[in-house]
Structure 1
Amino acid sequence: MRGSVMGTAVTLAAGTLLAAAMTTTAAASPPTAASTPAKASPAPTVLVDCYFHRNVRPEDFILACGDGNSRLIDLHWTEWGPDGAKAIGVNMVNDCKPYCAAGTFHAYPVVIRLNGQQKWHRHPSFQRFADISLTYTGGRPDTFKQVVTYPLWD
Structure 2
Amino acid sequence: MQGHTMKSAVTLCAAAAFAAVMATASAAPAASPPSTAQRPVLVDCTWQPQEHPTDFMLACGDGNSRLSSLHWSVWGPESAVATGINTVNDCKPYCAAGRFHDYPVVVRLDNPRPWKGHSPLRQYTVMNLIYTHDSPEGSGRTVSYPLWS
The bucket for the TM-score relative to the shorter chain is: 0.7 to 0.9
- Match status 1:72 vs 2:70: no
SS in 1 for 2:96: helix
Flag structure 2 segments of 5+ consecutive residues without an equivalent. 1-25
**Partner of residue 22, structure 2:** none
Flag structure 1 segments of 5+ consecutive residues without an equivalent. 1-32
Percentage of identical aligned residues: 49
Query: What is the correspondence of 1:41-120 to structure 2 with a 5 Å cutoff?
Result: 41-43=34-36, 44-120=39-115
Which of 109, 114, 124 in structure 2 is aligned with 1:129? 124
Distance 1:135 1:36, change over 3 A: closer
Q: CA deviation at 1:41?
A: 3.5
1:52 and 1:153 in contact (8 A); partners too? no
State TM-score, norm by structure 2: 0.77
State TM-score, norm by structure 1: 0.74
Q: CA deviation at 1:142?
A: 1.4
Q: CA deviation at 1:36?
A: 6.5
**Matched residues in 2 for 1:41 and 1:59: separation?**
20
**Matched residues in 1 for 2:104 and 2:32: separation?**
40
Q: How many residues align?
A: 122
**Partner of residue 144, structure 2:** 149
SS in 1 for 2:135: coil
**Matched residues in 2 for 1:82 and 1:56: separation?**
12
One-letter amino acid matched to 2:35: P
One-letter amino acid matched to 2:59: A
Q: Which moves more between the two structures, 104-113 or 34-43?
A: 34-43
SS in 1 for 2:124: strand
One-letter amino acid matched to 1:149: S
**Matched residues in 1 for 2:99 and 2:28: separation?**
59
SS in 2 for 1:101: helix
One-letter amino acid matched to 2:27: A
1:77 and 1:87 in contact (8 A); partners too? yes
Distance 1:38 1:76, change over 3 A: closer
**Matched residues in 1 for 2:48 and 2:68: separation?**
17
One-letter amino acid matched to 2:75: W
